[in-house]
Amino acid sequence: GQNIDQPTEMTATEGAIVQINCTYQTSGFNGLFWYQQHAGEAPTFLSYNVLDGLEEKGRFSSFLSRSKGYSYLLLKELQMKDSASYLCAVSSGRRALTFGSGTRLQVQP
Amino acid sequence: KAGVTQTPRYLIKTRGQQVTLSCSPISGHRSVSWYQQTPGQGLQFLFEYFSETQRNKGNFPGRFSGRQFSNSRSEMNVSTLELGDSALYLCASSLDSDRAQYFGPGTRLTVL
């Protein structure tokens, strides 16, 4: 089976940096995705990691360690519009995506 | 490129009825996946279709079914609706299932 763990909620201040962690146990790992979902909207793709290391895309970066079953999403220079849920998802085995429960991030002024 | 579209956006049904939801993927995408999202369970994988074949299936009862047409458009059907089927149903398309998935706006189904 597969198991993905993320913190349920996080709070951070506008302009700060926040790191959202994701740990997973799975067999046949293919890759790890991060999605952002604003309330009442569909998830939008943020990043994809298949190899170990850091992938940077503007204010957002994602890190993967396959040996540790660990990833994090780093958000820099937080803005109020970054308040959303952040979903970690793992592709494994026959390539189906399994989503974590999501981390609800609240950015405060 | 146009994004993923889903119809209808909202639907109200009563217990015992059946419903069909439609999804048109991004042009060129052959993989279409369906998810159910509820506040308590999060995003749950229903099934994935690739080139008209169901390639993966989640842990949902047989009342949930789907299909994909030759133009990659997909439909999902839920028969004998139950109150617990009330949810947001999301469709996502991708070039392949291990690539980035792009979600449609969803169909919000309410079962009364």
Q: For strand B31-38 and strand B42-50, is the pairing parallel, antiparallel, or unpaired?
A: antiparallel
Distance of CA B78 to the CA centre of its chain: 10
pLDDT value of position A92? 80
pLDDT value of position B41? 80
Q: Nearest Cβ partner of B33 from A87, A94, A97? A: A97
Sequence letter at residue B101: Q
Inter-chain contacts counted by CB atoms under 8 A, chains A and B = 50
| Closest B-chain CA to A92 | B98
pLDDT value of position A2? 72
pLDDT value of position A94? 66
Q: pLDDT tens across B27-59, in order?
A: 999 999 999 999 878 889 999 999 999 988 888
For chain A, what percent of residues have pLDDT higher than 90? 81
- State the best of B26, B99, B102, B107 to mutate against chain A, taking most chain A CBs within 10 Å: B99
pLDDT value of position A68? 95
Q: pLDDT tens across B53-107, in order?
A: 998 888 899 999 999 999 999 999 999 999 999 999 999 999 876 678 899 999 9
Mean pLDDT over the full length of chain A = 93
CA distances to A12, A61, B40, B47, B112 from B43, rounded to whole Å, are 25, 23, 9, 12, 22
Which chain B residues are closer than 8 Å to A1 by Cβ? Answer: none
Are A100 and B42 inside 8 Å of each other by CB?
Answer: yes
Query: Nearest CA to CA, how far is A33 from chain B (Å)?
Result: 7
Are B42 and A99 inside 8 Å of each other by CB?
Answer: yes
Peptide bond just before B8 cis, omega within 30 deg? yes
Task: Indicate whether B2 pLDDT > 90.
Answer: no
DSSP class of A51: S
